[in-house]
Amino acid sequence: MKEKQSMKIIKTIALVTALSLLGDSMLYIVLPLYWEQAGLDALWQVGVLLSINRFVRLPAAPIVGWLYHRISLRTGLFIATLLGGLSTLGYGLFHGFIAWLILRCLWGIAWSFFRIGGLTSISFYSDENEVGKAMGTYNGLFRLGSLFGMLLGGIFVPVIGLKLTAMIFGILSLLGLPLILYAFERKKAKPADKKVSTKVKIFSLREIRNKQKIVLIYASGFFITFLIQGVLTSTLSSVIDYHYGEIVKVFHFILSAALLSGIIQSCRWVWEPFLARRIGIWSDGKIGRIPLFVFFLAATGMLYGMVLYDSSVILWIIITLLVMVGTTAITTLIDSIAIEYLKSSAVTFITLYTVIQDVGAAAGPFIGYMVIELEAGFLYLYLGGAGIFIILAFCWLLLYLKDNKSKLGKLTLKGNIITLCK
C-alpha cells in the first residue's frame, strides 16, 4: 500500500530536525571533556552554554508563534534549518565563550521554529484517525538526531577534533534545506504555502467547552517535561553516585556514574523510533489515547519512585530503563492528545503549549538540585515526582470517566437488561 503523501511530509520534517539536532546533542557528550578546544576558559562556561538555549526559547517561542501567523510553514522550517545548520558550523569556525554564547542562542531560536513548526505540520497533515501514529513517527524519527549526535560525536571528536566534527555535522544539517523545499512543493503540500491566519486557523479558547481539559493538558505538558527532561535527565548521574558511588561495576565492566547515566539515557533514543510509533498507533485504535495515557502515567509514576530503591545494580538499571520506556509513551501520548484536542487552534495553542514545556524543562534542573541539597533531598525529589505522575493519572481518569459517563451508563443499563432477561 502506497504511503500517504502527508505522512511522507511529516517524516521529512522529522528527519530534517534530526539532522539539525546532531550538533546540539554532540555538545552534551563532548563539551564537558573538550571545552578547551572550543576556546573556553573555565568549566562553568560549559554549564552556561549547555543551558542558555533553553532559556532563550522562553521569550523566543511567542515571537516565533507570532511569525508563523505571517509566514508559511515551509518558510518557518527553512529558517529553522538554516539557523540550525549555521549554528553547528559556527562551533567549528568560531572560538571563545562570547561567540559560542551567540551560537547557542541562535540554536535556541532555531529549535523554537522546529518545535512549533513540526507540531503545527502534524496538526495540518495528519488524518483525524492517525494523529497518534503521526506524532509517534515524528517524535521517534527526530530523536535519531540525539542518538547519532551523541554516538558519533563521542567517536569522532577524540579522533579528528571538535572543530572538524562540528563542521561535518553543520554541513549535514544544511542538507535539510533542499529536503524542506522538496517536501513542500506547491503541488504536494498546499497548506505549507498558506499563512497561518488567525482568522482561519485560530479560535478563541472561550469557544472551547471543556476548559478543564485545556488546563490539564497544559499542566501535564509542564510536569512531564519538568520531571523527565529536567529532573531525571540532569540528576540521574547524581542518583547513581548516591546509590553506588562514582565508579560502578556492571557485570565485568567498570563504569563511571556519568558514563552509566549516558548509556541508560541513550537507550531511549534507540527504541524511540519504533516504540513511539507503535504507541501512537495503539492510541489511534479502540483503546483510545486517554486510557493508555492513564496507564503509562500511573506505571511510570510507580517506577519513578523506585529509582530511589537501593537494590542491586542490575535491578536498578532495569527499573530505570522501564522508566525510560514510560517516558517515551507519555511524551508521545500527551503531544498526541494536545494536537488532537485543539487541532483547529494550530499555532496559538501549540506556541503556548511549547512555552509551558520549555519552562518545565528549564525549571527541572534548577529546582531538582535545590531539593537535592536538602536532607533526604533525593527522597523528596523522586517520591514527589512519583506522586505528581500518579495525581495526573487520577485527574485524567476522572476526566475520562466524566466524558464517557453517558456511554458507560448505557453499557451498564444494557448489561442489567440482559441479566434480567436471562
What's 229's domain CATH number? 1.20.1250.20
Q: What is the pLDDT of residue 104?
A: 93
Same domain, 389 and 297: yes
Question: Any idea what DSSP says for residue 406?
Answer: H
Residue type for position 1? M
Distance set, CA 316 to CA 58, 125, 324 (Å): 35, 41, 12
Q: From 73, 176, 81, select the one nearest 121 (Cα to Cα).
A: 73
Q: Which three cell numbers stand for residue 401?
A: 470517566
CA 15 to chain centroid, in Å, comes to 15
Same domain, 73 and 111: yes
Q: What is the pLDDT of residue 345?
A: 58
Same domain, 259 and 383: yes
Question: What are residue 71's phi and psi, to 5 degrees?
Answer: -125, 165
In a domain, 201, yes or no: no
Give the bridge partners for 250, in sequence order: 253
Cα separation of 140 and 177, whole Å?
A: 21
Return the SS3 of 106: helix
Which of 141, 174, 195 is at the close of a domain? 195
Query: Structure pTM?
Result: 0.81
Distance set, CA 359 to CA 32, 204, 254, 362 (Å): 24, 23, 37, 5
Q: Going residue by residue through the chain (422 aa), what tens digit of pLDDT does each one get?
A: 345 777 888 899 999 999 999 999 888 778 877 888 888 888 788 878 888 888 898 899 889 988 988 888 899 999 999 999 999 999 999 999 999 999 999 999 999 999 999 888 888 888 777 888 889 889 888 988 888 888 888 888 888 888 999 999 999 999 999 999 888 775 454 444 445 443 334 334 444 446 778 889 999 999 999 999 888 887 887 888 888 887 888 887 887 777 787 788 888 888 888 899 899 989 888 888 899 999 999 999 999 999 888 778 899 999 999 999 999 999 999 998 888 776 655 677 888 888 898 888 888 887 888 888 888 888 899 999 999 999 999 999 998 888 777 555 554 444 444 443 44
Region at 199 (left for phi over 0; alpha for psi -120 to 50; beta for the rest): alpha
Q: From 88, 114, 132, select the one nearest 16 (Cα to Cα).
A: 114
Same domain, 229 and 289: yes
Same domain, 44 and 127: yes
Cα separation of 72 and 172, whole Å?
A: 24
Q: From 116, 131, 282, select the one nearest 201 (Cα to Cα).
A: 116
Domain count, the chain: 2
Same domain, 290 and 263: yes
Same domain, 211 and 243: yes
CB neighbours of residue 202 within 10 Å = 17
CB neighbours of residue 252 within 10 Å = 5
In a domain, 359, yes or no: yes
Q: Strands 247-250 and 253-256, how do they pair?
A: antiparallel
Do the Cβ atoms of 373 and 212 come closer than 8 Å? no
Cα separation of 224 and 138, whole Å?
A: 18
Question: At which residue does the C-alpha cell 506522586 appear?
Answer: 387
Do the Cβ atoms of 290 and 396 come closer than 8 Å? yes
Full residue range of the structural domain in which residue 368 is found: 207-413
Q: What is the pLDDT of residue 420?
A: 38
Cα separation of 400 and 316, whole Å?
A: 33
Same domain, 127 and 263: no
Q: From 105, 106, 92, select the one nearest 48 (Cα to Cα).
A: 105
User: What is the Cα gyration radius of the chain?
Assistant: 22
Question: Any idea what DSSP says for residue 230?
Answer: I
Same domain, 351 and 307: yes
- Write the CB contacts of 92 (distance below 8 Å, at least 6 apart in sequence): 162, 163, 164, 165, 166, 167, 170
Same domain, 189 and 240: no
Same domain, 65 and 128: yes
Q: What is the pLDDT of residue 411?
A: 46
Cα separation of 298 and 391, whole Å?
A: 8
Return the SS3 of 250: strand
In a domain, 422, yes or no: no
